[in-house]
Amino acid sequence: MARILVTEKLADSGLEAMAAAGHEVDVQLDLSPEQLLDAVKGANALVIRSSTKVIPEVLEAGRDLQVVGRAGVGLDNVDVPAATRLGVMVVNAPESNIVSAAEHAVALLLAQARNIPQAHSALVEGRWERSKWEGVELSGKTLGVVGLGRIGALVAQRMLAFGMHLVAYDPYTSPERAKRMGVELLSLDELVATADFVTIHLPKNKETVGLFGKELFAKAKPGIRIVNAARGGIVDEDALAEAIRSGVVAGAALDVFATEPTTSSPLFGLSGVVVTPHLGASTGEAQDKAGEQIAEQIVLALRGDFVPYAVNVAARGASEAVSPFLGIAEQLGRFLAGLCEGLPDQLEVEYGGTLAGEDVGILTLSVLKGVFAASTDDPVSYVNAPRIAEERGLVVREVQTTASADRVSLITVRSSDHSVVGSLMGPEEAPRFVQVEGHPVDVPPAANMLVVRNEDRPGMIGVVGTVLGDAGVSIAHMAVGQTAGTGEALMVIATDAPVELDVLGRLRSAPGITEVHQISGT
């Protein structure tokens, strides 16, 4: 059982999911920075939203942290590089609020075009001001979408229904994809010079902070209108306010600000500006999805499984073809560490068959997890496994080959002296060790295993069986292989319990036995 510290309001369904997985869910809301430093001590996971600042001091105080989860899309309030240095996985819930955020951007655009908030305020205050709040139609106008990611694409799709002409700036989107979406790709300068409306859907980073500033507004089409429901700071609020006052920009609608929460901005009070207090994800549906999605990621991370939305793992995610092999890859790493009785002198991971055509980086990380799991008490994750390898001087080599004998895909893990090969067998894709130290075998991974080298002569299976039987250890599975022309053979044995050291000693001293290795936790 792990302790999960939750410092901001999370949907009950998310809290219940983490508790149902057997963890202690410690909800402590509205903590001061000083209180957070104390509360995070001893926590294995930290779940936040947008207010909690996960700075290096917090990560240092939380020395037991394995994962930080942000129940939302952005990670502005998490120091991801610091977390990575300390081996802490950072996850978010990128799919949770995309519909809500896209709909809010559309709502802001419509509200700004028709001056809805201003007209509402005037009317409830007793003023009937039809002529003052005349708006503009969207049909036939050009909308510039800056960022065609998940949210930007949804906004583009919805605004096509309003009869708008769509242009976009996104250096990571191909012209073919844009064409299928009904969008024309332009440079950013061309976009602002062409568009009547601009909606921003970019991440906040060093390239995008202040992107919409004085220099860009000087290139804009007169009368342009700006919508930002992405991240505060991408739009320079002072520069935008000046552009509105000068008449270059006709108006703006913002849901996000450089500093949040805020009740003061140079944009407040300008008649053509619509503002909301970061409501993009503030729907019941988005909150439920965020809580449930981050709970799922936290449970996977604490279990040591592959986490789809980890943002600081040194490999891309697992494809449909790769994902089934994550378990056997980690088991192969553990098995090799057991054969080496410690850290291998070097590590080569070879992928054969259809795996050779895939991005297998995540599988190599799984092998590393297995190698180090047997040699450290510290939690080993997809995040810190490469760092541990570097610190311990373990050189990792990845090889791909299409050759795989009669099996579709094989993973071979080897050091300079030892090797083990694994695959998935049958329609159920059951994990199997199919070769150990060059000997063909067919053994399922087990929690307790022995590898025994012996002279190839009659009675050796009986010798091993007698020693284990006298110690009360049952053999659950055994595979035997011969080394042609050497007079040696090898046994791979799964036992129902760990073998005590004195029993291992008796095995090693038995006549005809040359080597015994115990492998645990596979």
Q: Which residue has the tokens 């860009």?
A: 216
Produce one character per residue of 340-354: b if its CB has 16 or more CB atoms within 10 Å, e if not.
beebbeebbbbbbbe
CA 440 from centroid of its chain's CA atoms = 37
Encode 155-180 in three state secondary structure: HHHHHHCCCCEEEEECCCCCHHHHHH
Q: Are strands 67-70 and 165-169 parallel, antiparallel or unpaired?
A: unpaired
- Could you tell me which residues come within 8 angstroms of residue 476 by beta carbon, excluding any fewer than 6 positions away? 446, 494, 495, 496
Look up residue 245 and give its two tokens: 């006052």
CA 110 from centroid of its chain's CA atoms = 34
At residue 99, the 3 state secondary structure works out as helix
In which element (H, E) is residue 298 found? helix 284-303
Per the rule left: phi > 0, alpha: psi between -120 and 50, beta: everything else, 54 is beta
Task: Tell me how far apart the alpha carbons of residues 239 and 351 are, in angstroms, rounded to a whole number.
Answer: 54
Q: Which residues are catalytic?
A: 231, 260, 278
- Comparing CA positions, the residue from 510, 504, 512 lying closest to residue 338 is 504
Task: Tell me how far apart the alpha carbons of residues 306 and 222 are, in angstroms, rounded to a whole number.
Answer: 50
Task: Tell me how far apart the alpha carbons of residues 284 and 265 are, in angstroms, rounded to a whole number.
Answer: 28
Please state, as a whole number, how many other Cβ atoms lie within 10 Å of the Cβ of residue 375: 16
